[in-house]
Each structure stands twice: as structure tokens, then as C-alpha cells.
Amino acid sequence: MYGIPNMKLDKTIVQRRIDLLRAEGIAFIPKTHIGVDVSAQDLLTTKDAVLVATGATWPRDLPLPNRNANGIHFAMEFLQANTKNLLDSSESINAKGKHVIVIGGGDTGCDCIGTSIRQGAASITNFELLPQPPQTRAPDNPWPLYPKVFRVDYGHAEVISHYGKDPREYCILTKSFITDESSNIKAVETVRIDWVKDENGKWKFSEIPDSKQTFRADLILLAMGFLGPERELIDQLGLEVSPKSSIQTKPSSYNTTTHAKVFSAGDCRRGQSLIVWAIQEGRQAAKEIDTYLSNRQVLPGPGGIMF
């Protein structure tokens, strides 16, 4: 409802689905922090099965000098506040008239770009650590691998149309945040980098001498991906996590390796992904939970597990 901008997902569609679920008998208990308002152990003792589907919302930070300055926000803070403002007129983080820098070049960063345009930003710049992708497949990226080629997403196209240039700056490394006397962000210091392969064939970057550059900034949005699900509930339930910090489940199963009655699905299990995968995993997890509770399969749906 709040994480995906309205221009990408009409919230009447989301509300329709919620209404259908409620009509089917599902009880929603909002504004409830599991582990604070309700003990995680209470869930284990009072419920026959528990599905953990909390998403992968732990954002990657950028711990540089002056990180705590006013005007530096995680991408999801910005996006969620904007959507809540559109839905119920609550307070938002506004980019109107500001010089915006988005650090990170994925889908979330693009959403920040598109939202900043709609709020009336004075300028938008997008920092990407990696080089600009080629127009066609590179020799080390053959079919059927996912094509790593140059793309223009909706946010980039809108900036080109509105401001006259692509917002992306490639091979750029953020070095420090610069503030005014009131601790408000006013600029960011960067350096250009060069990517080379080491003796083991792994890509590494080095800073290019005399390439320092300062960009004006009134608002900085950190969109550098996510490190996995929040840990409070995982720790309270004693769930095992994978090397990538996702909840560990049994092979070809949504059942966690720690508790027979605890299951996991979506981004908290598979890592940061798309909503279509969350829907798919939710359906398959429901089917597995039904089998666990009734010892028989009565729910329709695709068999097997998808990764």
C-alpha cells in the first residue's frame, strides 16, 4: 500500500484485494509490533501455524561523515511518507524546489526519481557506482543469462523529458556529506572510480586521481538495496538465517529449519525481489501450511517450490 508509488500501482487495486481477504474471514490487526505489543513466544504457544512474511526492509546505509545531517533519508522513508501524504494528507518528505541526489540505481532509486519529479524538484542526480552498461550484450553475458544492457526506466525518461538530460552519473563514489552551520545537507563530495579485474578475475575499483567533484544537494535519498529482513522477530523466534541474512527454510519447503509450525515466504525468505514473487510464494506457503495442518492437500495451486 505504501512502499510502491501510486503511479506504479493504483491503491484502489490493493484496497480491493484487502477487502476481499477481509470478506473471506481474515482478521487484520494493524499497528501491532510483534515482539513489543505481542510476544513472539505468544504466537508460538497460541497458534497452530505462523507464517513470517515481513519483507526485506533492512536498508543498506552509507556511514560517511555528516550522515546524520538534516535532509538525508533512506529511500523507503521518502516513498512511504509520500504515499501516506497522498492517501491521508499526513506529513511527507518534500522535494519541491530542492536539488535531489539519489544514491543507488535500482528500482527503488528509480521510484525516488519519479516521485521527486512529481513533487517539483529543482534538479535530480542519480549516483551509480558501476559503469554504464553496454548497449548490447557483452561477451561474458551470453544468452540465456539476464541481459546486462543499458536501459532507460520510467524515472530516467521523465527526467530526460523534464530537465533535458539523463540523471545518472556512473562510476562515482560518495566520499562525504557537506552541511551548513545548522547541520542541513548542502552538498556531497565525490570521486570518480575505475573498475578493473584483479589477478583472480574479480572486479575491483580504484579511485581516479584528481577526480574529486562536489554536487549541490538539499535532499539525499539512499537507495542502495536491502540487507535482509529486520532482525527483532527473527531473533525472538530463534530462526536460522542464510549467509545473505534471509530466513532459512528446509530444502524445497517454506517451513523454517527451526520450528515445525513456523513458515516463511516472500522477500524475508528469498531476498529483495518483486511483488509477483511475493504473491507466488504466499500462495505456495499457504498450500504447504494447509497440508501441515490437515495432513491433506485441498488448495489449488502450482506444485513444487520456486526460487
Last residue of a domain, one of 197, 222, 247: 222
Last residue of a domain, one of 205, 222, 239: 222
Residue 94 falls inside a structural domain: yes
Residue 117 falls inside a structural domain: yes
Contact (CB, 8 A) for 173 and 205: yes
pLDDT, residue 212, reads: 97
Do 92 and 163 sit in the same domain of this protein?
yes
pLDDT, residue 63, reads: 96
Check which CATH number belongs to the domain holding 155 and give it: 3.50.50.60
pLDDT, residue 39, reads: 87
Which residue, among 138, 113, 115, 117, has the nearest Cα to 127 in the 3D structure?
A: 113
Q: CA 196 to CA 191: how far, in whole Å?
A: 16
Query: In the chain, pLDDT over 90 holds for what percent of residues?
Result: 80
- DSSP-derived secondary structure for 94-111: --TT-EEEEE--SHHHHH
Tell me: pLDDT of 32 over 70: yes
pLDDT, residue 302, reads: 59
Do 100 and 165 sit in the same domain of this protein?
yes
pLDDT band at 305 (very low <50, low <70, confident <90, very high): low
pLDDT, residue 300, reads: 64
Number of domains in the chain: 2
For 265-294, what is each residue's pLDDT tens digit? 999 999 988 889 999 999 999 999 999 999
Last residue of a domain, one of 198, 222, 246: 222
Do 215 and 79 sit in the same domain of this protein?
yes
Average pLDDT for residues 22-27, to the nearest whole number?
A: 96
Do 90 and 43 sit in the same domain of this protein?
no
Number of H helices, E strands in the chain: 8, 11
Contact (CB, 8 A) for 250 and 86: no
- Give the cell for residue 272: 529483495
Model confidence pTM above 0.75: yes
For 51-104, what is each residue's pLDDT tens digit? 999 999 999 999 999 999 999 999 999 999 999 999 988 888 999 999 999 999
Residue 64 falls inside a structural domain: no
Residue 198 falls inside a structural domain: yes
- DSSP-derived secondary structure for 25-71: TPPP--S--BTTTB-HHHHHHH-S-EEE------BPP---TTTTSBT
Average pLDDT, the chain: 93
Tell me: pLDDT of 231 over 90: no
pLDDT band at 230 (very low <50, low <70, confident <90, very high): confident
pLDDT, residue 199, reads: 87
Residue 150 falls inside a structural domain: yes
Do 170 and 216 sit in the same domain of this protein?
yes
Average pLDDT for residues 191-206, to the nearest whole number?
A: 92
Do 218 and 99 sit in the same domain of this protein?
yes
Residue 62 falls inside a structural domain: no
For residue 282, the enclosing domain spans 31-57+227-294
pLDDT, residue 307, reads: 43
Do 270 and 136 sit in the same domain of this protein?
no
